[in-house]
């Protein structure tokens, strides 16, 4: 008689491993999503600081603040991709308020808004003005 010498994992062992991996993934994925959201928010905050610095430089040279597409052109599209209403970089959209300010409005100040994607019913929004202070609007 031949003796069966095959070795391997039983179906029960494989199901147990798959179950453990599923439990770990269930615990880990929300933490990963929170980490990604925090990184996106930090990048948007930093982007608004850079926009504020660029606005100061532009004001010194031109006597008025710049529109976002003007700043983006000076930075060789370093601020993101131009859209009809603003700039998109990463998961955030950057827009001026009002959308198309006049030169006279830009002599007095500017407001740039950064709006993130709606995630789990929450949307993060930030604002920077000519004061250079970045403020979180929501949540």
Q: In the prediction, which pLDDT does 2 show?
A: 66
CA torsion sign for 56, 58, 60, 65 is negative
* Predicted TM-score (pTM) of this structure: 0.75
What's the average model confidence in pLDDT over 113-126? 83
For the segment 20-77, what is each residue's pLDDT rounded down to a tens digit? Answer: 999 998 888 888 888 888 888 888 899 999 989 999 999 999 889 988 888 888 888 8
Instruction: Enumerate the domain spans of the chain.
Output: 11-138
Q: How far from the centroid of its chain's Cα atoms is residue 118's Cα?
A: 11
Q: How many CA atoms lie within 13 A of 56 on its CB side?
A: 11
- Mean residue pLDDT of the chain comes to 87
């Amino acid at each position: 008689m031949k003796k069966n010498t095959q070795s391997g994992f039983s179906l029960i062992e494989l199901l147990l491993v798959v179950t453990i991996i599923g439990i770990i993934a269930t615990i880990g994925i929300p933490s990963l999503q929170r980490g990604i959201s925090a990184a996106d928010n930090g990048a948007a905050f930093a982007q608004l600081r850079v926009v504020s610095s660029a606005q100061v430089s532009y004001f010194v040279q031109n006597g008025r603040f710049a529109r976002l597409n003007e700043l983006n052109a000076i930075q060789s599209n370093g601020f993101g991709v131009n859209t009809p209403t603003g700039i998109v970089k990463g998961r955030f959209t950057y827009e001026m308020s009002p959308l198309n300010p006049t030169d006279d409005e830009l002599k007095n100040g500017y407001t740039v808004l950064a709006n993130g994607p709606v995630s789990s019913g929450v949307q993060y929004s930030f604002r920077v003005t000519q004061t250079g202070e970045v403020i979180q609007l929501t949540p």
